[in-house]
Structure formats: C-alpha cells, structure tokens
Structure 1
C-alpha cells in the first residue's frame, strides 16, 4: 500500500496499527561535494526562507528539523493554486502542487548551499521523476522553489556541478522554479515523523534519513528536532 492509499485510514489509526508498506528499498544517502563557494553571497541577515519538495513531506520535514541553523519548518503544498491546496485534492496528482516543506533558517548559521547539499544527499533521490521510493505521481516530484535570485543562482550552479561530476548514475531531475505561493498543510501532517516514530512508513523511509544526516553531516546535525506550531496553535 502506498502512502496515498493509506489515507482511507486516519493518521492516528495508521500510527496505532503500524500500517505496512509495500516492499521497497529505503532511502540511501551519499556524501556530496560542497557547492561552489561563489554560488551564494555572504549572509547579511539572520532570517531567510526557502521551499523544498522531494516526495513525502513527512520525511523531508524531519530532515530539516534536525539541521542546526533551521529555525522553523512547515509542510504544505507549492506549485498550484490556493483553492486546490489540500491533501485529498493534491493526492489526485493533477493540481500542479508538489508536497513541499517551507524552511526558515538563519543564514549566519547555515547557508542555503548547505541546505541544498543535505537535501540532495539525504532527503531524496534527486534523479527520480515524479516519484520517491514507494510514492508516485507529480505531487511527489522534486523541486527547489526559490525565493530570491541568489537562491536560484546557487541552485543552478550546484545542480550543474553535481551533473558534471557524475555524482549520481543519472542526471538530476530536480526542478528549479520561482516560488509563487506556499500553502501550509493540515495540522495532522505537521511534525508527523516526530509524533509517530513507530509508524511503519516513518520507520522504513524516514528514520534512515535522520541516521544518514547524523553520520554524514554531524557538524550540521541537531538531535532535538525543531517542531512546528500547527495552525491551531499546538503541535
């Protein structure tokens, strides 16, 4: 059963029952070269934000929640219209939305370049098209939704660097798109991996990403995740 198919059950029921996934390989990780030093200007502010899409937003959020310098994260939808930005509609795969994570960070502590490096290394397989692991559909495509010209320049430079170096067996499929609107997901989806660590989907596909982050990028790793305040004011 793919993650989309699981939602005949409530999120709480899934956690309690430990719904099994179809057999599939858990995510692998690779230590990537650092981005070009010229790809991003020196930080002049303590606050910036960016949006990353790379398959199931539960796992992508959990990776960023464990990165030093990240100050907040929210799962949601990006790439489509506001009136289609809800889980059931996006799951149909024809809204233009991708499951995404908005990341707020302190550029004096962690750069956008470093966030990209960890994203490509740990959070997803950037060579997959319209899928990640057991989930398939355009809503699971990988995208860097950039919010500044500097982010776009850094993204193009880093993807070109990785492709030229043939770091991956196939070309990187991640899109680079200016962000025109991020819409927060329903409260039940926020902090899902942190709230339901024993859920079988989380244990199979998301927990290994955190272990890879700790192993490969220990200097950037924080053990206690930055949890998101839900729209209703709770976690």
Structure 2
C-alpha cells in the first residue's frame, strides 16, 4: 500500500536529501554581522520589503520561514507592468529582476534583520547579473527599497559589510528605489513547497532554507508564512 506524504513531510525528506548531494548554494553562505543601523522593533502596521537575488523560488522559500514574516510573494520589479511576465522577463531585456515581496510585522522582525538574512543565505551578492546556474540581468542582486528609511538602513548595511570584508569580491547589489512590484504567475508561488524533490530545488534552493535554519535558529519558523 502506498503512503501519501504531506507537503511538510516531502520538504523534510528533501532537506535530508540535500545533505547527500554537492551543494553549490551552500558554499557561499556567510553569517553576516547584525546591522549596526536598523529600525527598532515597534508595533505598527505591517511593512513590505522587496528583494531580488536570483531565482525567486529560493529567495521566497527562505523568507517565508522567518518569524514575523506574514507573506512572501514571487514576482518582478524594475520594469513595466506590461512586461511582468515570466517568459518576457526571461529575455533579460525588460529591466525586471525576479524579486520577492516580503510582508512582515515590524514588532517581530526588523528590516535590518531581513537584510542580514538576504545577504547571509538567500543569495550571493558578489555575482553580477547571475546567481548560480542562472544568468542575465533578471537574476541580479538588487534592493527595491520602499521608502527613505529602508534606503538609509540598506545603504548603511552594505557599507558595513564591505568595510568588514564579509563578502569577497565586491558586493554588486544595486539600489533601485521604490519601483513597483508585480506578483508573478500562480504556479511560481510556494514553488519549493510544491516541488521539494525537483533537482533544481534540491540542489540550489533547499540548501538556502537549511542554511537559514542552521545559521538563524532563533528566527526560524516551523510554519511557513501563508
């Protein structure tokens, strides 16, 4: 008789499998220092932040496991609404980057902490217009800050990382301001949880999730954001 596995069981199995294969994504993980400049935790309305760091599947999968994150949505930022389509963005000619919009509770997790996670495990900020096996400007490292406060914190943190020599060679992350974010197609959402045993996911993205759980246990949420 066949046993029907739950999505959680499949993800757990894939996490175990990832430890048995060579993992390029894990090789560049670094526990970046906490930001010296950050917004204090404070009660208030939910906030949004947009990160681009290569294929949005893995970036989304990391952020949806962060305590205080309410949602992580894969999509596009940097270009026009008319070209916010996967196949068109894939040409690298739209100005878009694959990006993830994170909605979070500022009383639980700060923007600076999200930046720390982004630079530590979600992507490699030294790769110009690429991440791992994916190349093109649509896979660039970019921050789409939503307001002046996020911009201030983000620029200060990158300067802090560069001064500390956390990443070598140079960080190539771009600051692209509050450009609109457009949610991606439905089949891209929660992609890792829907396809935990797909080879691309096992090799490139599950190691990021496992790296986050290992390096930031205090921030790990057993239940992913909706």
TM-score, normalised to structure 1's length? 0.84
- 1:108-123 maps to which residues of 2 (within 5 A)? 108-123=107-122
The equivalent residue for 1:87 is 86
Shift of 1:179: 1.8
The equivalent residue for 1:190 is 189
Say if 2:155 is the partner of 1:156. Answer: yes
Shift of 1:41: 4.8
- Give the whole-Å Cα distance in 2 for the aligned partners of 1:157 and 1:44: 23
Deviation string, structure 1 residues 187-229 (Cα, Å, up to 9, x no partner): 00000001100000000011111111111100000122113xx
- 1:82-231 maps to which residues of 2 (within 5 A)? 82-227=81-226
Contact 2:26–2:211 under 8 Å retained in 1 = no
Shift of 1:46: 3.8
- Give the whole-Å Cα distance in 2 for the aligned partners of 1:42 and 1:76: 27
- Give the whole-Å Cα distance in 2 for the aligned partners of 1:122 and 1:183: 24
SS in 1 for 2:95: coil
- 1:7-18 maps to which residues of 2 (within 5 A)? none
- Give the whole-Å Cα distance in 2 for the aligned partners of 1:109 and 1:224: 15
Shift of 1:178: 1.0
Say if 2:14 is the partner of 1:33. Answer: no
TM-score, normalised to structure 2's length? 0.87
Shift of 1:170: 1.1
- Give the whole-Å Cα distance in 1 for the aligned partners of 2:24 and 2:69: 29
Contact 1:35–1:113 under 8 Å retained in 2 = yes
Aligned length: 204
Deviation string, structure 1 residues 52-90 (Cα, Å, up to 9, x no partner): 000000000000010000001110000000110000000
- Give the whole-Å Cα distance in 2 for the aligned partners of 1:171 and 1:129: 10
Q: Which deviates the most, 170-179 or 102-111?
A: 170-179
The equivalent residue for 1:16 is none
- Give the whole-Å Cα distance in 2 for the aligned partners of 1:119 and 1:64: 8
- Segments of 5+ residues of structure 2 without an aligned counterpart are 1-21
Shift of 1:42: 4.9
Contact 1:24–1:134 under 8 Å retained in 2 = no
Deviation string, structure 1 residues 155-194 (Cα, Å, up to 9, x no partner): 0000000001111111111111112211111100000001
Distance 1:50 1:150, change over 3 A: same
